[in-house]
Structure 1
Amino acid sequence: MNAFKAFKANVPIAWSPNLYITLVRGIPGTRRLHRRTLEALCLRKCNRTVMRWNTPTVRGMLQQVKRLVVVETEEMYKARKQKVEQHVALQPPLVVNHLPAPSSASAS
């Protein structure tokens, strides 16, 4: 099963006050009505996320373009962003010392 399909199947959007909507599929080749719906949601480029209030109007628009978008609740969005930030976080630099190690026992 596709990761996005599994992700979308488990989203409880009925109780969340805010919805984070991400466009994950391209607009070219879609129906004019779907393009207009995405334009109304202010989704113009792939992998862009917008926040919308959870209203029946917005849920109807999402139902229309559900194969093009991923819907997240606020908690899911923050968890995903935090995971991405931790993944991209800078690691301490690796210091390589090319000098010979000092010997503790001196030659007698």
Structure 2
Amino acid sequence: MEIVIKPAALEQLKRVEFQEDEGLRIEAIFVGSCSLYAEHDLRIDKKGEEDELFIVEEIPVLISKESQKHLSDKIILDFNPTLGYKISSNEEVYRYNLQLKKFK
């Protein structure tokens, strides 16, 4: 899987102080409905057993094996001050207006 962090998102993420075993989680959770649909989320989280760790521009990125099933092989993360973070691929926008949350 290839992950691209655009300059505006990178600038924001470099301000985050990641603790040991923490990373930026990109999540895609399948939601059952009449059509195939996944809910996308972005947060600071601890690495779990099912997570794959990617280091992108010195940012630790976590994506679970399950989430990878619902994402393209290339993920793009961008940031806009008025629209928040956006997760997309070359084919589609998964979600925009995402705020970075901390795990609980």
TM-score over 0.5 (shorter chain): no
Q: What's the TM-score once normalised by structure 2's chain length?
A: 0.29
Structure with max Cα Rg: 1
Higher RCO (CA-CA < 8 Å; seq separation 6+): 1
Structure with the bigger percentage of helix: 1
Q: What's the TM-score once normalised by structure 1's chain length?
A: 0.28
Structure with the bigger percentage of strand: 2
